[in-house]
């Protein structure tokens, strides 16, 4: 009886965690699109910078003030050698996502973001010469095919927005690959990742945002927008962006890998539906079919990766990524027990 009650509580906790994750993710996307389209605040660098500032403050409060997560200590030398390059790519990823939201509908942008598994596999194959099971390559076929069908039939297609979203996928994949090599030896969670990366990203983005978008923001302020509500929405999206990172950490620890993958794909469907209800961007039938094919391919990809990871040691499996020279570089103080 006790085991049944614990199982029910585990299921309820997982469902609540997924719903929380969906809520934060969809809300952040919708708010950013609202900022660019409805408020006419067309400054993606500034919005990204505000997000990083809010995330840095939020991570500091969680770790240093509330002490909800222990701080993973990273030596100053490792911060510049290992975390700064990841922060730069992380910064590019967020900026490209916001740029794409300015020019293309949320539904199209979210579908293109589903291309990330394919770009990750291709980059690891090209850069690391990593070999993958044929089932992995087969799972990429519906992902690529669905993206192509969606792009061809997209009624609000914009080349600049499409390229920004596509290069955002490449930036996401690059960040994942860098994390494997640069952070070898550190067991980072999402909050500690934000704690170290957000200040670097703010530093990287602050000057370009000021130089490139400062005059435009001054002009926008002269149009007499409702400053109080605009301030609340823009900074509110930054606070929710940090909450999204926290919810991702909670979902990963509350669910299995397959559940997380399926929930992620369903989240895209929820975001597409909510954005259509709010912004009413036109979606053709073939466009919706292309989006569905992409999500099915992503689900199949996640299932195949999970099945391969569950293989017994005696069976053939995907070879480990060969270690490059950077991965062999020792940490300044490579003692995990001092950092967890």
pLDDT tens track for 16-46: 888 888 888 889 989 999 999 889 999 999 9
Q: In this structure, is residue 280 part of a structural domain?
A: yes
Q: In this structure, is residue 150 part of a structural domain?
A: yes
| Residue 68 and residue 173 share a domain | no
> Total structural domains in the chain?
2
Please count the other Cβ atoms lying within 10 Å of the Cβ belonging to residue 190. 18
| Confidence at residue 233, expressed as pLDDT on a 0 to 100 scale | 92
Phi, psi of 62 (to 5 degrees): -65, -40
Q: Is the pLDDT reported for residue 317 higher than 60?
A: no
Q: In this structure, is residue 306 part of a structural domain?
A: yes
| Residue 196 and residue 173 share a domain | no
- What's the first-to-final CA gap in the chain, in angstroms? 36
pLDDT confidence tier of residue 314, bands split at 50, 70 and 90: very low
| Residue 178 and residue 38 share a domain | no
| Residue 283 and residue 183 share a domain | yes
| Confidence at residue 325, expressed as pLDDT on a 0 to 100 scale | 42
Q: Worst-scoring range by mean pLDDT, 60-74, 226-240, 241-255?
A: 241-255
| Residue 178 and residue 229 share a domain | no
Domain span at 295: 105-188+256-310
| Residue 292 and residue 169 share a domain | yes
Q: Worst-scoring range by mean pLDDT, 24-33, 196-205, 279-288?
A: 279-288
| Confidence at residue 255, expressed as pLDDT on a 0 to 100 scale | 66
Q: Is the pLDDT reported for residue 306 higher than 50?
A: yes
Report d(CA 168, CA 260) in Å as an integer.
21
| Residue 272 and residue 170 share a domain | yes
Q: Which residues contact 94 (CB under 8 A, 6 or more apart)?
A: 48, 51, 52, 201
| Residue 116 and residue 176 share a domain | yes
| Confidence at residue 227, expressed as pLDDT on a 0 to 100 scale | 86
Average pLDDT on 225-229 reads 87
Alpha-carbon 163 to chain mean position: 17
Tens-digit pLDDT profile for residues 125-153: 887 788 888 888 988 899 888 888 888 88
Angle at 174 between CA 180 and CA 317, to 5 degrees: 50
Average pLDDT of the residues of the chain: 81
Q: What share of the chain has pLDDT > 90, as a percent?
A: 21
Most confident of 157-171, 291-305, 320-334: 157-171
| Confidence at residue 258, expressed as pLDDT on a 0 to 100 scale | 56
Q: Where are the alpha helices (DSSP H) in the chain?
A: 2-37, 44-60, 76-78, 84-103, 106-113, 116-127, 134-153, 159-182, 190-221, 227-254, 257-279, 285-309, 325-328
| Confidence at residue 86, expressed as pLDDT on a 0 to 100 scale | 84
Q: In this structure, is residue 34 part of a structural domain?
A: yes
| Residue 44 and residue 120 share a domain | no
| Confidence at residue 321, expressed as pLDDT on a 0 to 100 scale | 44
248 or 206, higher pLDDT: 206
CB 245 within 8 A of CB 191: yes
Q: In this structure, is residue 83 part of a structural domain?
A: no
Average pLDDT on 157-164 reads 90
| Residue 270 and residue 130 share a domain | yes
Q: Is 195 exposed, middle or buried (0-12, 13-18, 19+ CB in 10 A)?
A: buried
Q: Output the pTM of the full model.
A: 0.77
| Residue 170 and residue 22 share a domain | no
Q: In this structure, is residue 3 part of a structural domain?
A: no
Q: In this structure, is residue 123 part of a structural domain?
A: yes
Average pLDDT on 70-96 reads 87
Q: Is the pLDDT reported for residue 323 higher than 60?
A: no
Q: In this structure, is residue 88 part of a structural domain?
A: no
| Residue 181 and residue 43 share a domain | no
CB 96 within 8 A of CB 174: no
């Amino acid at each position: 009886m006790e085991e049944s009650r614990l199982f029910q509580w585990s299921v309820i906790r997982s469902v609540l965690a997924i719903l929380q994750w969906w809520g934060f993710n969809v809300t952040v996307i919708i708010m950013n699109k609202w900022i660019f389209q409805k408020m006419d605040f067309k400054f993606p660098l500034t919005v990204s910078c505000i997000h990083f500032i809010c995330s840095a403050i939020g991570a500091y409060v969680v770790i240093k003030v509330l002490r909800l997560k222990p701080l993973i200590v990273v030596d100053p030398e490792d911060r510049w050698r290992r975390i700064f390059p990841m922060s730069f790519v992380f910064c590019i990823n967020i900026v490209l996502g916001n740029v794409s939201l300015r020019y293309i509908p949320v539904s199209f942008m979210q579908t293109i973001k589903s291309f990330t598994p394919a770009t990750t596999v291709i980059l690891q194959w090209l850069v690391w010469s990593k070999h993958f099971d044929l089932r992995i390559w087969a799972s990429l076929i519906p992902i690529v095919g669905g993206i192509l069908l969606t792009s061809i039939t997209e009624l609000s297609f914009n080349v600049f927005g499409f390229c920004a979203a596509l290069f955002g996928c490449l930036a996401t994949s690059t960040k994942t690959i860098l994390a494997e090599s640069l952070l070898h030896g550190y067991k980072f969670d999402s909050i500690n990742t934000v704690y170290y990366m957000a200040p670097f990203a703010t530093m990287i983005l602050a000057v370009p945002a000021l130089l490139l978008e400062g005059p435009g923001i001054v002009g926008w302020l002269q149009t007499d927008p409702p400053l109080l509500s605009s301030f609340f929405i823009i900074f509110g999206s930054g606070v929710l962006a940090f909450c999204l990172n926290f919810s991702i950490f909670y979902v990963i620890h509350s669910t299995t890998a397959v559940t997380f993958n399926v929930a992620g794909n369903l989240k895209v469907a929820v975001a597409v539906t909510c954005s259509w209800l709010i912004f009413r961007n036109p979606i053709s039938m073939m466009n919706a079919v292309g989006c569905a094919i992409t999500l099915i391919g992503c689900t199949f990809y996640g299932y195949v990766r999970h099945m391969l990871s569950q293989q017994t040691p005696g069976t053939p499996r995907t070879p480990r990524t060969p270690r490059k020279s950077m991965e062999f570089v020792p940490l300044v103080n490579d003692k995990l027990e001092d950092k967890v």
